[in-house]
């Protein structure tokens, strides 16, 4: 090369053009474009509402003149924080609910995670019989709304000492249960553990289904006991799924509203979630948002701890690669039938008995009378009668309920599909670009909805979309807003299941496809998506179940044209129409089971074909 050519090659203009072209090429890659779009959209849908909530706690709002005559809407003030932290009612408003929340949330999360992980291994990785019907049965407690489990507990252990009719326990044994068993911390912990262990079960079973059994078999050949294999091989391999389930379960338990509200209110046992609901309902919005921020801080601390435990080297969790795959089941031997009996007992106590009790209540003409002479089908098949249930017809003759059933199914299917696909894309970006700023930012933003209590999220979206803001139209009163908030709210779950699935896929599979000339979109569609079927289906199941029984997230956004079954059921519960409430709970349970079976079958065939190819 001549000197003039070399000088031209080194000219600043040439260097700048080369740098510009390289940067342009990099920025136009599909991963970067998709990441940029997701960053902008999620920032508007998640970060902006969070900042608005924080700003509201630092300013005077409309209606705050009842606290101070000098209050001017929009001006900065520390009044709300001062009242919450050191005011005359701070102990009852903040500190007692905080202690109660940590006690019930921690205990319920530990019990739910332990039970869910153990059952996930038995159902997914062993030769235990009856797994085909045990799987949907064990998910039932999570399908049923939490306030329905609270109602079932009240029906069983309610005591006249706290008002109302006696429960089934006193009706059968003529002995009033102690108050601590009827209401307060003990029933809250027990019912939350029952309600959330299927959540951990779903998340962990999806990861366990892709564990290579060759690793376990090698450990057994070296003389390791079955317990050692579980403790040293199986569960450490699915560490991301277990830690993700632990964080999500804890966050759900401390943010649950309806269950502690129903089981704690009679004895004035408040948690942060119930106090938040009461504050927002009474118009103390800023004080309610302060409690939301407290819940956010607690969950952030737990997330930080889990991240420290997990570490940054995720390649050690890869179990699907290009060197073959085995999925042989663990033989239980003499423990096969005893463990089967234990799982059946858990399924009966946690799922079948509460559902049966709620179903029996729908047949009682008068609540509290458990005799057979009090049975009726009116709440299912009856016509409108002004002397019964304030004239409400039975569920199957109620045109309002039938219309709301379509809204419920449409919302659950559409939102669960969208959230799972978006979650898988975000999970891919997070795992493959772990060291990048964009991937880390997306990971944090996608998890933010989990930190915001549902009722606070709904209040923020109500303010954001009540009027048009720039090119964003006013969505209040539309079905699109209900779908949008459900998709955004489920992102923490779908992103974690998507990331756990991508973590187990070796990068050499993508590299081989890239060498064959496959574009990123084709590699994602033909390699990542098929191998992530287990995680995607698990994410869809979790989202579908959660959306079917969602209440606090959408209660403030529902209009007559967008009602769903749970909001109608909550209205019945507020009116103390127990039989109609439980009838709707049963209807939601049946519909959710049918939808879950459909989703599972759609993914099961694809997953079976994948495993057959890998084993061959």
Cα 219 from Cα 196, distance rounded (Å): 32
Catalogue the E-assigned strands of 348-504. none
**CA-to-CA dists, residue 393 to 93, 437, 483, 591, angstroms:** 41, 57, 29, 20
Name the pLDDT band for 37 (thresholds 50, 70, 90): confident
Phi, psi torsion values for 59, nearest 5 degrees: -135, 160
Alpha helices in 351-392 (DSSP H): 353-361, 378-381
Phi, psi torsion values for 225, nearest 5 degrees: -75, 165
Higher pLDDT, 99 or 402: 99
Whether residue 313 is predicted with pLDDT greater than 60 in this model: the reply is: no
**CA-to-CA dists, residue 493 to 154, 188, 415, 592, angstroms:** 31, 24, 13, 18
- Convert the pLDDT of each residue in 539-592 to its tens digit: 787 788 788 888 778 877 888 888 888 888 878 877 778 788 888 888 887 887
Q: Is 159 helix (H, G, I), strand (E, B) or coil?
A: coil
Quick count: other Cβ atoms within 10 Å of Cβ 409? 18
What tokens does 117 get? 């992980």
Name the pLDDT band for 217 (thresholds 50, 70, 90): low
The DSSP secondary structure of 107-121, one letter per residue, reads HHHHHHHHHHHHHHH
Torsion of CA 68, 73, 75, 81, to 10 degrees: 50
- Predicted pLDDT of residue 482: 92
Residues in Cβ contact with 370 at an 8 Å cutoff, skipping those fewer than 6 apart: 168, 171, 360, 364
Name the pLDDT band for 322 (thresholds 50, 70, 90): very low
Cα 526 from Cα 513, distance rounded (Å): 9
CB 350 within 8 A of CB 129: no
**CA-to-CA dists, residue 329 to 66, 241, 496, 609, angstroms:** 66, 20, 26, 18
Q: Which of 113-127, 357-371, 469-483, 505-519 has the lowest mean pLDDT?
A: 505-519
| Angle at the Cα of 450 from the Cα atoms of 479 and 96, rounded to 5 degrees | 115
- Predicted pLDDT of residue 522: 73
- Convert the pLDDT of each residue in 5-30 to its tens digit: 545 555 566 566 665 555 555 455 66
Name the pLDDT band for 97 (thresholds 50, 70, 90): very high
- Cα 579 to chain centroid distance, Å, stands at 27
- Predicted pLDDT of residue 190: 94
Q: Which of 210-214, 263-267, 373-377, 409-413 has the lowest mean pLDDT?
A: 210-214
**What percent of the chain is modeled with pLDDT above 70?**
79
CB 414 within 8 A of CB 483: yes
Domain 30-44+86-389+398-615 is of which CATH architecture? Orthogonal Bundle (1.10)
Whether residue 183 is predicted with pLDDT greater than 80 in this model: the reply is: yes
Q: Is 371 helix (H, G, I), strand (E, B) or coil?
A: coil
Name the pLDDT band for 56 (thresholds 50, 70, 90): confident
- What angle, 0 to 180 degrees and rounded to 10, lies between the N-to-C axes of helices 285-310 and 272-281? 150
Quick count: other Cβ atoms within 10 Å of Cβ 483? 19
Residues in Cβ contact with 76 at an 8 Å cutoff, skipping those fewer than 6 apart: 58, 59
Reported pTM: 0.75
Nearest one of 504, 467, 462, 506 to 485, comparing CA atoms: 462
Name the pLDDT band for 314 (thresholds 50, 70, 90): very low
Cα 389 from Cα 104, distance rounded (Å): 35
| Angle at the Cα of 380 from the Cα atoms of 376 and 386, rounded to 5 degrees | 75
- Predicted pLDDT of residue 386: 82
Whether residue 447 is predicted with pLDDT greater than 70 in this model: the reply is: yes
**CA-to-CA dists, residue 577 to 170, 322, 395, angstroms:** 22, 59, 13
- Convert the pLDDT of each residue in 234-282 to its tens digit: 666 666 777 777 877 887 888 888 788 888 888 889 999 888 888 877 8
What tokens does 274 get? 């119930």
Token pair 């996608």 is at which residue? 446
Nearest one of 390, 428, 359, 459 to 61, comparing CA atoms: 459
**CA-to-CA dists, residue 558 to 121, 284, 550, 564, 596, angstroms:** 40, 21, 12, 8, 25
- Convert the pLDDT of each residue in 475-506 to its tens digit: 888 898 999 999 998 888 788 777 777 776 76
Phi, psi torsion values for 62, nearest 5 degrees: -65, 135
What tokens does 443 get? 């990971």
Domain ranges for the chain, please list them. Answer: 30-44+86-389+398-615
**Mean pLDDT to the nearest integer, 332-347:** 89
């Amino acid at each position: 090369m001549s000197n003039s050519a070399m000088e031209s090659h080194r000219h600043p203009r040439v260097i700048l053009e080369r740098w510009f072209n390289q940067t342009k090429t990099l920025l136009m890659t599909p991963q970067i474009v998709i990441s940029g779009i997701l960053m902008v959209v999620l920032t508007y849908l998640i970060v902006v509402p969070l900042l608005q909530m924080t700003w509201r706690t630092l300013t005077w709002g409309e209606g705050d003149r009842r606290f101070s005559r000098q209050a001017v809407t929009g001006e900065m003030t520390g009044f709300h924080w001062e009242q919450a932290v050191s005011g005359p009612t701070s102990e009852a408003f903040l500190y007692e609910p905080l202690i109660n929340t940590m006690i019930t949330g921690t205990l319920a999360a530990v019990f739910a995670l332990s039970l869910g992980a153990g059952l996930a291994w038995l159902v997914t990785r062993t030769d235990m019989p009856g797994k085909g019907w045990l799987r949907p049965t064990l998910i039932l407690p999570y399908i049923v709304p939490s306030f329905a489990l609270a109602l079932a507990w009240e029906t069983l252990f309610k005591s006249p000492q706290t008002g109302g009719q006696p429960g089934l326990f006193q009706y059968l044994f003529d002995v009033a249960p102690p108050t601590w068993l009827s209401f307060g911390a003990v029933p809250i912990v027990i019912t939350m553990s029952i309600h959330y262990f299927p959540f951990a079960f779903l998340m962990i079973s999806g990861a366990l289904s892709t564990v290579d059994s060759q690793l376990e078999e090698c450990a057994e050949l070296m003389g390791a006991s079955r317990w050692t294999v579980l403790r040293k091989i199986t569960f450490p391999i699915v560490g991301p799924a277990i830690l993700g389930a632990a964080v999500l379960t804890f966050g759900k338990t401390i943010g649950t509203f309806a269950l502690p509200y129903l089981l704690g209110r009679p004895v004035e046992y408040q948690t942060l979630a119930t106090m938040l609901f009461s504050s927002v309902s009474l118009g103390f919005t800023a004080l309610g948002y302060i409690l939301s921020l407290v819940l956010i801080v607690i969950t952030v601390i737990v997330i930080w701890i889990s991240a420290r435990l997990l570490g940054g080297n995720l390649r050690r969790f890869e179990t699907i690669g290009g060197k073959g795959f085995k999925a042989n089941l663990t033989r239980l031997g003499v423990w096969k039938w005893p463990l089967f009996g234990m799982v059946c007992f858990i399924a009966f106590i946690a799922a079948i008995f509460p559902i049966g009790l709620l179903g029996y209540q729908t047949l009682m003409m008068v609540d509290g009378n458990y005799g057979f002479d009090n049975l009726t089908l009116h709440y299912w098949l009856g016509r409108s009668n002004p002397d019964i249930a304030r004239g409400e017809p039975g569920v199957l003759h109620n045109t309002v309920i039938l219309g709301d059933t379509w809204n419920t199914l449409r919302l659950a299917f559409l939102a669960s599909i969208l959230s799972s696909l978006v979650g898988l894309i975000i999970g891919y970006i997070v795992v493959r670009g772990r060291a990048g700023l964009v991937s880390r930012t997306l990971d944090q933003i996608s998890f933010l909805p989990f930190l915001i209590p549902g009722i606070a999220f709904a209040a923020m979206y109500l303010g954001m979309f009540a009027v048009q803001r720039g090119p964003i139209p006013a969505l209040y009163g539309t079905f699109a807003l209900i779908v949008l908030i459900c998709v955004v709210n489920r992102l923490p779950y779908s992103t974690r299941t998507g990331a756990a699935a991508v973590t187990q896929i070796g990068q050499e599979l993508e590299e081989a496809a890239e060498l064959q000339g496959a574009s990123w979109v084709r590699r994602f569609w033909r390699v990542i998506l098929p191998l992530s079927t287990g995680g995607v289906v698990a994410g869809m199941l979790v989202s579908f179940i959660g959306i079917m029984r969602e209440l606090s997230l959408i209660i403030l956004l529902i209009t007559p044209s967008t009602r769903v079954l749970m909001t109608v059921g909550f209205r019945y519960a507020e009116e103390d129409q127990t039989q109609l409430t439980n009838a709707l709970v049963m209807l939601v349970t049946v519909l959710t089971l049918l939808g879950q079976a459909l989703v599972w079958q759609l993914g099961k065939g694809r997953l079976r074909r994948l495993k057959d190819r890998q084993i061959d």
